[in-house]
Amino acid sequence: MSRPEYGVFLGLDVGKEEHHACGLDGDGERVHDKPLPQSEAKIRAVLEALSAHGPVLVIVDQPASIGALAVTVARDLGIDVAYLPGLAMRRIADLHPGSAKTDARDAYIIAEAARSMPHALRRVDTGDEALADLEVVVGYDDDLAGEGTRIANRIRGLLTQIHPALERVLGPKIQHPAVLELLTRFGGPQGLAGATRRQLITATKTRAPRSYDKLVTAVQQALTEQTVTVPGTRAAEHVLPRLAAALAGLLTERADAARQIEEMLDAHPLSKVLTSIPGIGVRTGARILLEVGDGTAFPTPGHLAAYAGLAPVTRRSGTSIRGEHPSRGGNKQLKRAFFLAAFAALSDPTSRAYYDRKRAAGKKHNAALICLARRRIDVLHAMLRTGTLYQRPTPSAA
């Protein structure tokens, strides 16, 4: 982030009830160092008072959630806002003496980092209402996904405990509507064993038109593999239908959230650019848009790859240790989106050919996917900067 001549660097260590604000002038002298209540009037008064010293740059460690009000008030006053990532802040904190962890010290470190190391800052995207709405819905969808995974694991754990053979059949398809309907209607192994084949087919036929017969046959075969009743089965018969119904409800909510995300994404001018790339769908496209924006915050594809944690890190010590290793840092959500998009792109001939070359070179599956994700960042960065859609490469002339 380029640095104009600011008169005050105001670091905000944000909190739910109040922030701590530390303002430094260009020479590093404190011009403000006080708690700042989470109130529009108080924030506005402090920013207007500090503007007497010259242009103000507000730096926050959380631009969304609890820091959103401060960011919005600063923008309303025409004041620049920047973001210092938490990982960078903790590393910069090691450069300062002392090991105390206080709001005042954190606010000072944020302000000093902005004053002396502007390259560590990230831009806070302009107040785009559509992106703000998209971030709320995407966050809600992430919460639903996490809760759905927890319930699915709980169901599989119960089935493994009381009837492992049945879990081997239903577990891998636990989120399929037909499987959830079986568990909701009949419960666990005892309820399924007491149902007739006709009842099982009636419950699954509309939800798995092409595979219902195979599913019912596999369930009945699994039920014959165990004759003893494991302690806890009776209670599980009551719990499993409730868990299955809860999971089915979560999946329905996720489908509704996906439709809402798709509508919001389609309304954004960069949506067609993102979704034209093979492997990038609604959810991954929304996450990339939220984290990357139009790409102008990253001068080169290498900067974007480093931010996502997909750039290899060189480790060398004399002549004894050398080589490049995957980065363990970066934006975890963005890294996951690029990784999932690369995995989904394996059906694309160009992406598959690159992946196969990496595998032939001796790389394992995940390492080859990371290489593919890194290569696709080059393409994505150029497309975002120019606003052009993805074009499949044509075979070169012999």
Q: pLDDT, tens digit, for every residue of 209-267?
A: 999 999 999 999 999 999 999 999 999 999 999 999 999 999 999 999 999 999 999 88
Average pLDDT of the chain to the nearest whole number: 88
What Rg value do the Cα atoms of the chain yield, rounded? Answer: 27
pLDDT at 147 (0 to 100) = 97
Residue 7: what are its φ and ψ, rounded to 5°?
A: -85, -30
Rounded Cα distance between 121 and 290, Å, is 17
* Sequence-distant (≥ 6) Cβ neighbours of residue 111 within 8 angstroms: 9, 10, 11, 22, 23, 24, 59
> Are the C-beta atoms of 137 and 289 separated by less than 8 Å?
no
Work out the average pLDDT over 74-93: 83
Work out the average pLDDT over 167-172: 96
pLDDT at 177 (0 to 100) = 96
Q: Is CATH 2.60.40 what the domain over 133-263 is classified as, yes or no? A: no
SS3 at position 2? coil
Amino acid at 96: H
Work out the average pLDDT over 86-92: 75
pLDDT at 315 (0 to 100) = 65
Q: pLDDT digit string (tens) for 145-157? A: 999 999 999 999 9
Listed ranges 3-17, 87-101, 193-207; the one with the highest mean pLDDT: 193-207
Rounded Cα distance between 270 and 296, Å, is 13
pLDDT at 29 (0 to 100) = 92
Asked if the model's pLDDT at residue 56 lies above 90, the reply is yes
- Bigger pLDDT: 159 or 67? 159
Work out the average pLDDT over 99-113: 86
pLDDT at 118 (0 to 100) = 85
Asked if the model's pLDDT at residue 3 lies above 60, the reply is no
Q: How confident is the model at residue 125 (pLDDT cuts 50, 70, 90)?
A: low
Q: How many CB atoms sit inside 10 A of residue 91's CB?
A: 13
Burial of 271 (0-12, 13-18, 19+ CB in 10 A): middle
Q: How confident is the model at residue 326 (pLDDT cuts 50, 70, 90)?
A: low
pLDDT at 321 (0 to 100) = 57
Work out the average pLDDT over 62-70: 80
The token pair that represents 138 in the structure block: 């995407």
Q: How confident is the model at residue 1 (pLDDT cuts 50, 70, 90)?
A: very low
Asked if the model's pLDDT at residue 314 lies above 70, the reply is no
- Percent of the chain predicted with pLDDT > 70: 92
Asked if the model's pLDDT at residue 174 lies above 90, the reply is yes
Report the run of H or E that residue 13 belongs to, with start and end: strand 8-13
Question: Helix crossing, 212-223 with 177-186: angle to 10°?
Answer: 50
Half-sphere exposure of 1 (CA within 13 A, CB side): 22
Asked if the model's pLDDT at residue 359 lies above 90, the reply is yes
Asked if the model's pLDDT at residue 80 lies above 80, the reply is yes
Asked if the model's pLDDT at residue 130 lies above 80, the reply is no
Which CATH fold topology does 8-124 show? Nucleotidyltransferase; domain 5 (3.30.420)
Work out the average pLDDT over 313-321: 63
Give the domain ranges of the chain. 8-124, 133-263, 271-386
